[in-house]
Chain A
Amino acid sequence: MKVLVHVSLKPGVLDPQGRAIHHSLEGLGFGGVSDVRVGREIALEVADDTSDEALEDMCRRLLANTVIENYRIEKL
């Protein structure tokens, strides 16, 4: 089974990379962009019987740092 883990910074946490990208987009002449946030997508290939609890555990213990990041698990 393929699983995508989407990791994003929590709302309110400053994202310097997103801000720099925003700045560059404006420099390229793209108007109308009000905010840019950078996230990460981690693609896992796991055994079909992998439990939701195990996936949650992977996210909490390693894939995301829950002090600053949220995660979302998407099974394909």
Chain B
Amino acid sequence: MAFTAGVITFPGSNCDRDMAVAIRDISGREPLRLWHGDADLPGNIDFIAVPGGFSYGDYLRSGAMAANSPIMRSVIAAADRGVPVLGVCNGFQVLTEARLLPGALMRNAGIHFVCRTVPLVVENGSSLFTSRYETGSTIQIPVAHHDGNYYADDETLDELEGEGRVAFRYGENVNGSARQIAGVLNAKGNVLGMMPHPERAIEDAQGSADGRALFEGVFESLSVA
């Protein structure tokens, strides 16, 4: 697969290595490791992963500082050009704070940090990221977060649902998210943010390999393009 993937590391990221391993394992190519302070992305970048963790110690709001770091200006520009961007967990928080995705991630409704594998319903099986899943199917993916309670106003939620931009919904109430939304797409469909960690579900030894298909779907579209 001749494409160039990159994984961003912010101070406090802790799922960047897992993400890099998943990309390497599934694509057979080593992704570039990108540092938050880099102002520019490589011009040939084909796929950007914004990983989980606690960027900048979650100061101010989860993802708020990272969203304003130098590399995010280039990520926003790349997303505007149509480069696929996947934000997982803290990465999802960063993408909402950067306004690449609508809504916000708030403290879990039950206050507690939630760390377990949860059922996810694939709401849209035809997006760039979900083409390898059947719409309506249920997959098992782990979550590990404190601020995963998705919020957007009703008008925005209606718009997301009407346009098929809810990629995943929790199969049970995990964190109080509005309409149990677990992952959303931008209007163009090339940016996905999700709280669950597909990169932690790529082989059976991890308890589920259901996350593999997400990466396979994106990488397939890139190698065909």
Which residues of chain B come closer than 8 Å to A20, judged between CB atoms?
A: 111
1/0 contact trace for A53-76 toward B, CB 8 Å?
000000001110101100000000
Q: Report how many residues on chain A are interfacial, defined by Cβ distance under 8 Å.
A: 11
> How far is it, in angstroms, between the C-alpha of A56 and the C-alpha of B96 when the chains are bound?
20
| Chain B contact residue count (CB 8 A cutoff) | 19
Interface centre among B97, B106, B151, B152 (most CB of A within 10 A): B106
Query: What are the residues of chain B within 8 A of A65 when measuring CB–CB?
Result: 61, 64, 97, 104
A residues with a Cβ closer than 8 A to B are 13-14, 16-17, 20, 61-63, 65, 67-68
A-B contacts, 20 of them at CB < 8 A, read: A13-B151, A14-B106, A14-B149, A14-B176, A16-B108, A16-B109, A16-B111, A16-B149, A17-B107, A20-B111, A62-B60, A63-B60, A65-B61, A65-B64, A65-B97, A65-B104, A67-B151, A67-B152, A68-B106, A68-B151
Known: A20-B111, A62-B68, A68-B151. 6 other contacts (CB 8 A): A14-B151, A16-B106, A65-B61, A67-B104, A67-B152, A68-B104
